[in-house]
Chains A and B, each alone.
Chain A
Amino acid sequence: MKTSGLLWRRLPLRTRVIGAFTLGAAIAALVLVVITYGLSRQSMLQQREESSQRQFFANARQVQSSLRAENPDLTQLLESLPSLSGSRSIVRTGDETWVSLSLTPNDVPAPLVMSAVEFPEAKTMRYRLDDEPVLAFGLQLRPSAASTFNEVAYFEVVPLAEVENTLESLALILLVGGALTVLVGVGIGLWASGGLLRPLTDISDAARSIAHGRFDTRLEEVKDPDLDALVTSFNEMAAAMETRITRDARFSSDVSHELRSPLMTLRASIEVVQHRREELSERTQQALDLLNDEVIRFENLVQDLLDLSRSDSGPMENDLVNIEELVKATLASADDRIKLEVSNSAQGGLVMGDKRRLAQVLDNLLRNAEKYGDGATRIVVTSTGTDIEIAVEDDGPGVAPSERELIFERFTRGAAARKRGTGDGAGLGLALVDEHARRHGGSAHVEGKEGQPGARFVVLLPKAGHR
């Protein structure tokens, strides 16, 4: 019982609702069919028995009255008797003497004969004759003193086949009706579960929409008091989340913006000094280079932070981006030793999205390979059904399986990156790759290269029209 209960609970809700309706309809149909059939059968048989019995007694009285004659012609009498729905008669006039038109003495069961002969009341019996259901009546008659007979009994055999046939048809009709009832039950179950689950479907759609970054998604108000509480609390949760996310995003965005103004002064001033480089001593030049490098690094960091805060909340440009063109344009300003391979199926492949963010994804992967993987060696663009796959490969030390997820988190760097100790990465590049890919409905991951050292960073983007 317990295991079946668990099994039941493991089924989907919809299946369970439909199942319950079906089961209920089946039980109701079964009970109805059994009771209807039983009652009909009983009343039909009873009716047949009563009408036959009335006919039997009428016939028996005629036979009785004929017995007053001294030597009655029983055969002629039997011929004159009305036969109701194929009933047949036989008269027993002595142990071995029977008179009948169509029955033999063997057609009447011995127990009926015995009890009819011994007791004065009418006797009834139901049995099968020649494989047909029949009902037989028997009654002791009193011959007159003048009669030559002393033990007379009258029997009638009434066929029940007709009633049985009717009952069979009824049973068939009832079974079909029952089956239809079950079907209707399934139908109602489908409809009711649809109505019951609609709010749940709505909620899961809304939740998915929020997960995809549309934080202003809300459920529609409903009249149903049961659902209203759920809808209200869901919307409250969504609103609280939206407020929080926008506040967090605004904070990092504000911080980044405030940092941009001093950076602009720094950048411009450094360039003015760079312009007069020759006037500086070698030592000062070195210091200037350090300053310049650090300002650039700082700038990249602020830009990454800003992009991350925007990818949390900012709107996305939606253009059709030709991935092959994008990769080629990105590579135009990169190391020309990087090989580009575009599979036939991926040629001209379009992605609906933000060109600059997609370019940033590629840029960051190239920068990442540059810093930690001895530089990218190959970019492979392929098409996998509904997605376009961009893989950036390098011949570096690769990424340990235990770190393959971790390195996409903000402010984390893999062991390889830490060992290099260059310190010029904040651990935001891959986080941005991941966030941008997800904002486009895609994903990013890293894998090893088959049979070779090195890493293969893969970005999957849904093709336009497949999102």
Chain B
Amino acid sequence: MTIKILTIEDDERIRTAVRFALEDEGWSVLEAETGEQALEVFNSRTPDLVLVDIGLPGIDGFEVCRSLRGASDVPIIMVTARDDTHDVVAGLEAGADDYVTKPIAPKELSARIRALLRRVKPEDSTSSPRTVGDLEIIPEEGVVRKSGTEIHLTKTEFHLLCELSDQAGKVLSREHLLEEVWGYDYFGDGRLVDVHVRRLRTKVETDPAHPRHVVTVRGMGYKLQA
């Protein structure tokens, strides 16, 4: 079955050029011009991945991200013309899994899409279930329980938690996490890790303001502890 990608972009020329480029990669492309239209298409066609332009008229990209994230785990890549901290962090907080900056070369965009789609596949079955404090992680089933209650994580958050729990108690650098979870090299954006850790904390920590499990080690990275 061909993978369906929904591109949400108000600039028709960009939309068309991107569609051509993505179709050359063998994917089928759905298009939406506005946020409203995007939500409609999303509900009727259930794409495998969504590209959201942040600068949309009407419902803006952040809002679209939030709506999609509220309803599904679909991988979202945010496309932004500004890579200022403010926009990037706001987009990631809204639920995007990754971001790319205009003008991105279609080759790089495809690489990002592939990395994200790979992540969506189940973990390799060699990963055994593990328990860290009151957290129970079962990679094979994609299930996390906190004090026995199942909690819902997005694929990226889940992958991040698995990566941290693989070496529980050890400090993992942001570079390492970027490489393992997002498939970036040394120059990936550390803000991706920071925002996802923050989002992960709101779900796995009893008091996200004073995290006990996912701990920041200043200047070094993050570690998972009981």
Residues in chain A within 8 A of chain B (CB atoms) = 253, 257, 260-269, 271-272, 275, 299, 310, 314-315, 317, 319-320, 325-326, 329, 332, 350, 355-356, 359, 464
Across-interface contacts of A356 in B (CB, < 8 A): 187, 189
Once bound together, how far apart are the Cα atoms of A350 and B81, in whole Å? 31
Across-interface contacts of A315 in B (CB, < 8 A): 84-85
A268 touches B190 (CB 8 A): no
A264 touches B17 (CB 8 A): yes
Distance in Å from the Cβ of B132 to the closest Cβ of chain A?
Answer: 26
Q: Which of B35-43, B61-69, B103-111, B145-153 contacts A (4 or more CB under 8 A)?
A: B103-111
A271 touches B106 (CB 8 A): yes
Across-interface contacts of A263 in B (CB, < 8 A): 102-103
Q: 21 interchain pairs (CB within 8 A)?
A: A253-B82, A257-B81, A260-B81, A261-B14, A264-B14, A264-B103, A264-B104, A267-B105, A268-B18, A268-B20, A269-B20, A272-B17, A272-B21, A272-B24, A275-B24, A310-B84, A314-B84, A326-B186, A355-B187, A356-B187, A359-B187
Once bound together, how far apart are the Cα atoms of A46 and B18, in whole Å? 114
| B219 contacts chain A at the CB level, 8 A cutoff | yes
Across-interface contacts of B190 in A (CB, < 8 A): 317, 319, 355
Distance in Å from the Cβ of B141 to the closest Cβ of chain A?
Answer: 35
Across-interface contacts of B185 in A (CB, < 8 A): 329, 332
Once bound together, how far apart are the Cα atoms of A315 and B82, in whole Å? 13
B186 touches A267 (CB 8 A): no
| Range, interface on chain B | 20 to 34
A271-B105, A314-B84, A332-B185 known; 18 new pairs, CB 8 Å cut-off, are A257-B81, A260-B102, A261-B14, A262-B13, A267-B106, A268-B14, A268-B106, A269-B17, A269-B20, A275-B24, A310-B84, A317-B85, A319-B174, A319-B190, A320-B219, A320-B220, A329-B185, A355-B187
Across-interface contacts of B24 in A (CB, < 8 A): 271-272, 275
Across-interface contacts of A269 in B (CB, < 8 A): 17, 20
A260 touches B186 (CB 8 A): no
User: Which of A261, A275, A299, A310 sits near B11, CB closer than 8 Å?
Assistant: A261
A265 touches B11 (CB 8 A): yes
Across-interface contacts of A355 in B (CB, < 8 A): 187, 190
B82 touches A257 (CB 8 A): yes
| B170 contacts chain A at the CB level, 8 A cutoff | no
Once bound together, how far apart are the Cα atoms of A264 and B105, in whole Å? 7
Distance in Å from the Cβ of B113 to the closest Cβ of chain A?
Answer: 14
Using a CB-CB cutoff of 8 Å, which residues 70-97 of chain B contact chain A? 81-82, 84-85
Once bound together, how far apart are the Cα atoms of A264 and B102, in whole Å? 6
Question: B206-226 vs A: 1/0 string, CB under 8 Å?
Answer: 000000000000011000000
Once bound together, how far apart are the Cα atoms of A275 and B102, in whole Å? 21
Distance in Å from the Cβ of B25 to the closest Cβ of chain A?
Answer: 9
Closest chain B residue to A464 by CB distance?
A: B219
A350 touches B219 (CB 8 A): yes
Once bound together, how far apart are the Cα atoms of A319 and B217, in whole Å? 12
Once bound together, how far apart are the Cα atoms of A253 and B86, in whole Å? 14
Once bound together, how far apart are the Cα atoms of A264 and B179, in whole Å? 26
Closest chain B residue to A328 by CB distance?
A: B186
Once bound together, how far apart are the Cα atoms of A317 and B219, in whole Å? 12
Once bound together, how far apart are the Cα atoms of A267 and B100, in whole Å? 14
Once bound together, how far apart are the Cα atoms of A359 and B185, in whole Å? 13
Across-interface contacts of B11 in A (CB, < 8 A): 261, 265
Distance in Å from the Cβ of A352 to the closest Cβ of chain B?
Answer: 9
User: Which of B102, B187, B189, B191 sits near A261, CB closer than 8 Å?
Assistant: B102
Once bound together, how far apart are the Cα atoms of A356 and B192, in whole Å? 14
Across-interface contacts of B105 in A (CB, < 8 A): 267, 271
Once bound together, how far apart are the Cα atoms of A261 and B102, in whole Å? 7
Question: B98-123 vs A: 1/0 string, CB under 8 Å?
Answer: 00011111110000000000000000
Closest chain B residue to A359 by CB distance?
A: B187
Once bound together, how far apart are the Cα atoms of A268 and B21, in whole Å? 6
B102 touches A272 (CB 8 A): no
Distance in Å from the Cβ of A258 to the closest Cβ of chain B?
Answer: 8
Closest chain A residue to B109 by CB distance?
A: A268
Task: For the complex of A and B, list the 8 residue pairs with the smallest distance between their C-beta atoms, beginning with the closest.
Answer: A329-B186, A268-B17, A264-B103, A320-B219, A263-B103, A272-B20, A260-B102, A265-B13
Distance in Å from the Cβ of A150 to the closest Cβ of chain B?
Answer: 115
Distance in Å from the Cβ of A363 to the closest Cβ of chain B?
Answer: 10
A265 touches B186 (CB 8 A): no
Task: Assess A325 versus B186: contact at CB under 8 Å? Given A268-B21, A272-B17, A317-B85.
Answer: yes
Closest chain B residue to A354 by CB distance?
A: B190
Across-interface contacts of A260 in B (CB, < 8 A): 81, 101-103
Residue from the set B24, B82, B175, B186 with the largest chain A CB neighbour count within 10 Å: B186
Closest chain B residue to A262 by CB distance?
A: B13
Distance in Å from the Cβ of B108 to the closest Cβ of chain A?
Answer: 10
Distance in Å from the Cβ of B130 to the closest Cβ of chain A?
Answer: 29
A317 touches B103 (CB 8 A): no
Across-interface contacts of B175 in A (CB, < 8 A): 325
Across-interface contacts of A272 in B (CB, < 8 A): 17, 20-21, 24, 106
Distance in Å from the Cβ of B182 to the closest Cβ of chain A?
Answer: 15
A317 touches B102 (CB 8 A): no
Across-interface contacts of A253 in B (CB, < 8 A): 82
A271 touches B21 (CB 8 A): yes
Closest chain A residue to B25 by CB distance?
A: A275
Once bound together, how far apart are the Cα atoms of A315 and B185, in whole Å? 23
Closest chain B residue to A316 by CB distance?
A: B85
Across-interface contacts of A266 in B (CB, < 8 A): 103
Once bound together, how far apart are the Cα atoms of A348 and B107, in whole Å? 35
Using a CB-CB cutoff of 8 Å, which residues 16-64 of chain B contact chain A? 17-18, 20-21, 24
Once bound together, how far apart are the Cα atoms of A359 and B102, in whole Å? 20
Residue from the set B106, B191, B220 with the largest chain A CB neighbour count within 10 Å: B106
B187 touches A265 (CB 8 A): no
B17 touches A265 (CB 8 A): yes
